[in-house]
Structure 1
Amino acid sequence: MTDANFQREVIESEFPVLVDMWAPWCQPCIAMKPTIRELASELSGEVKVAELNIEQNPFIKEKYHIDKYPMLLIFVDGKEVERLVGLKSKEYLNDAIGVYIRDQTRAEQ
């Protein structure tokens, strides 16, 4: 994901979006990549998972005041609803995003 497509991919998404704000120099960010990618695969069709290199995308970094890493933002209906900072387990992330999947399912019924 990039500054250029953030609006379309995140703000306009019909699904909840988990955005991984990472930096190439951030070892915890790199360590968490396999977990993020597993979640993306497992939650496909329910949640969009996106990765944003904040070094290459300064507009989003500044707009959302990204100053700690790793930083994960959850968006629902175009709005930031949760911010997770630091290395997190797959179970923790699944629980965090799971709340919004259930909320979205209820809203559609």
Structure 2
Amino acid sequence: MAHQVTDADFAAQVLASDKPVLVDFWAEWCGPCKAMDPILEQVSADLAGKVSIVKLDVDSNPSTVTQYGVRAMPTLIVFKNGEPVDMKVGAGQSRVQLVKWLEGHAA
């Protein structure tokens, strides 16, 4: 299961990480977000040790959502060295597409 982050621990868990972090901005009421869960679980296993995958509930963490301009769910943002470096919006990615995308940031 992907680790949950909040406004309170976002800086420590994501921005201070020594490896790339994929943040899944999601909501409980979002069907496409729930559809992405098993794919993200597989990707997390595929890339264990190379990329961290965390989830941030947009309804409970408005500060981080506002800071990064997230307006649609799911939004996936890759952070590297404390900075957002890439983003995908929507649930259209397959496991293979996500692994390939993230491997490019883990290199």
Normalised by the size of structure 2, how large is the TM-score?
0.92
- The equivalent of 2:78 in structure 1 is 74
Give the fraction of aligned pairs with identical amino acids, expressed as a percent: 35
TM-superposition CA deviations, 1:23-62 (whole Å, max 9, x none):
1111000000011111112211111110111111111111
CA distance in 2 between counterparts of 1:13 and 1:52 reads: 16
Rounded to whole Å, the distance in 1 between the matches of 2:6 and 2:74 is 17
Asked if 1 retains the 8 angstrom alpha-carbon contact of 2:75 and 2:87, the reply is: yes
Higher relative helix content: 1
What are the ranges of 5 or more consecutive residues in structure 2 without an aligned counterpart? none
Q: Which amino acid aligns with 1:92?
A: Q
Q: What is the distance in 2 between the residues matched to 1:96 and 1:52? A: 20
Unaligned 5+ runs, structure 1: 103-109
Structure 2 CA distance for aligned equivalents of residues 52 and 93 of structure 1: 18
Which of structure 1's runs of 4+ aligned residues deviate more than 2 A?
none
Deviations 1:1-43 (CA, angstroms, capped at 9, x unpaired): 1111100111000000001000111100000001111111221
2:103 corresponds to: 98
Q: In angstroms, what is the RMSD of aligned CA positions?
A: 0.8
1:16 aligns with 2:20: yes
| Aligned residues between the structures | 102
Report what 1:63 is aligned to.
67
